[in-house]
Structure 1
C-alpha cells in the first residue's frame, strides 16, 4: 500500500489586534443618561454620566441588550448611601455606574481572573478605585446589600437566586438580567418562592430584565 502525504504552508499576515478592536468599537449612548466609550474616543458632554471602558475579553460594553436594560433600570433607582453587590461584574461597568450614581459601598465579584484585572483597570480609569473587586465563584452570603446587580447567564441566576435573595437587606432590590423572554415564567416563579415581589420587567431584542424586592 502506498501512502501519499501532502502539505501546504500559508503565511499569516501580522495583525495589530488592538488596532482592529479599536476600529470596530463604537461608543454607546443609553438615552441622555449614560455614554459609554473607550479611552481613545473623544468625551461626550450631552449625557448625564460617562464611563470609559476597555473591555478586552470581558463582558459589558453596553452594546448587548442585557447591559442596556440594566443601565436603564439603574437610572430609576436611588443610590445615595446604598450598599451594592455586582454579581458577575465582567468589565465592571455596572459597579462603576453604581458608584458614580452615589453608592456608598460597591462590592463586585467574577470567577474569571482576567475579568477582575480588566474591571480594576476600568475602575481606575473612571476614578472609582474604592470599588472592591474579588475573584470568586460564590456570592458572599454573610453580607447584606441594598441593591444587588446580576447580569449573568440564566443557569447561574436560577442556581444562585436563593443566596442572592438572602443577601438583600430589608427593602432591598435585586436586578436580574442575562435572561431570555422564554425564561420569564420560570424566573418569576423562583422569585415568588423566595418572597421577592416583582417591581418591574423590561424587554429588548428577546432579552428581559426583572427588578424584584424583598
Structure 2
C-alpha cells in the first residue's frame, strides 16, 4: 500500500495545536501521526489523498492565530500504523508513580497508577513535557474528594489520573469532537467514573463549578485570553495548574493571573517548557 508522508509545520507549535491538527487530519483521511521538530508528520494512503480537502481543513482550522504549512513526499512502503505503535508511543513512567501505556503494550512497568489509552493521536500521551509536568503536579497534590476541571482535555489522561487519585467529580472539556470521543473511550478503558466529558471552549464554562482544582494545558495565548473564565469557576482556595508555554512566558501568565486575584505558588520546568500553580485568594 502506497503512502504519502506529509510534514506539517505549526506556529505556534504547542501540544494543543498539534493535537487538534491530528484530529482534523484524521477526518481528512490521515492514519498515523508522529511528533517532529516544529510540528507533525502524518501519513495518508495515496489513494485517499485529496489535497483540496487538506487545504480546506487547514483553512478551517478551529484554533485562531495558528499558521500551518506543509510539504509532502512519497513514503517508503510499510505499515505506518504499526511503525508508529512500535517506535513512537512507548510506555512512559512519570515520577516513578504513574505509567501510561497503550492497549497493545506488553511487559508494562509496574507503578502506583496505571493508565491505559487507545493512542489514536500522537499527543496527549504523556510524552510531551507539558503533559508530564501537569502529571507531576497532580501526583504531588492532595486531590481526594476535590472537584476538578480538565480544560482542553485531549485524551483525558490528566482527568483520569486525577480521578484515580480521588478527585470527584471531574469535568473534561475539549474544543474538538474527536478528542471528546477519544476521551470517552479512554475513560471506559480505565474503568473510572464520575468524569463528565463535553465539547466546548471557555465560554461553555458559564454556570459550571466552582471547582477545587482546574487544569489547563493549552497554550500561552489561549490561557491569557481565557483565564478570566477559569477564575470565574473558582472559589477561595481553589488551585489552577497551567501549562503549554515556555519559561519565558511565565511573566505574562503570572501578571494576568495576579491581576485577576490569583496568588503564585510555584513553577516547574522541563526542557524550557513550564507549568505554573496558582491559588485563588478570593
TM-score of the aligned structures, taking structure 2 as reference length: 0.69
Is 1:23 aligned to 2:23, yes or no? no
Does the 8 Å CA contact 1:180/1:207 hold for their aligned counterparts? yes
Counterpart of 1:200 in structure 2 is 266
Counterpart of 2:173 in structure 1 is 109
Counterpart of 1:140 in structure 2 is 205
How much has 1:63 moved relative to structure 2?
Answer: 0.5
Counterpart of 2:18 in structure 1 is none
Counterpart of 1:166 in structure 2 is 232
Does the 8 Å CA contact 1:32/1:46 hold for their aligned counterparts? no
Q: Aligned equivalents of 2:244 and 2:227: distance in 1?
A: 13
Which residue, out of 102, 123, 129, partners 1:38? 102
What are structure 2's unaligned runs of at least 5 residues?
1-72
Counterpart of 1:181 in structure 2 is 247
What do the CA deviations read for 1:149-172 (whole angstroms, capped 9, x no partner)? 000011110100111112112210
**Normalized per residue, which structure has more strand?**
2
Residue 36 of structure 1: SS of its match in structure 2? Answer: strand
Is 1:64 aligned to 2:128, yes or no? yes
Counterpart of 2:148 in structure 1 is 84
How much has 1:93 moved relative to structure 2?
Answer: 0.7
Q: Aligned equivalents of 1:207 and 1:52: distance in 2?
A: 25
How much has 1:13 moved relative to structure 2?
Answer: 6.8
Instruction: Please say which structure displays the higher CA radius of gyration.
Output: 1
What do the CA deviations read for 1:3-60 (whole angstroms, capped 9, x no partner)? xxxxxxx997764333122112211111221011111112545311110122213631
Residue 213 of structure 1: SS of its match in structure 2? Answer: strand
How much has 1:100 moved relative to structure 2?
Answer: 0.5
How much has 1:81 moved relative to structure 2?
Answer: 1.0
Q: How many residue pairs are counted as aligned between the two chains?
A: 205
Q: Aligned equivalents of 1:45 and 1:11: distance in 2?
A: 37
Does the 8 Å CA contact 2:148/2:167 hold for their aligned counterparts? yes
Q: Aligned equivalents of 2:75 and 2:155: distance in 1?
A: 31
How much has 1:99 moved relative to structure 2?
Answer: 0.7
What do the CA deviations read for 1:94-118 (whole angstroms, capped 9, x no partner)? 0101111111101101011111111
Q: Aligned equivalents of 2:235 and 2:101: distance in 1?
A: 33
Does the 8 Å CA contact 1:120/1:133 hold for their aligned counterparts? yes
How much has 1:119 moved relative to structure 2?
Answer: 0.8
How much has 1:64 moved relative to structure 2?
Answer: 0.5
Which residue, out of 139, 147, 157, partners 1:75? 139
What do the CA deviations read for 1:63-91 (whole angstroms, capped 9, x no partner)? 00001110111111111111100000001
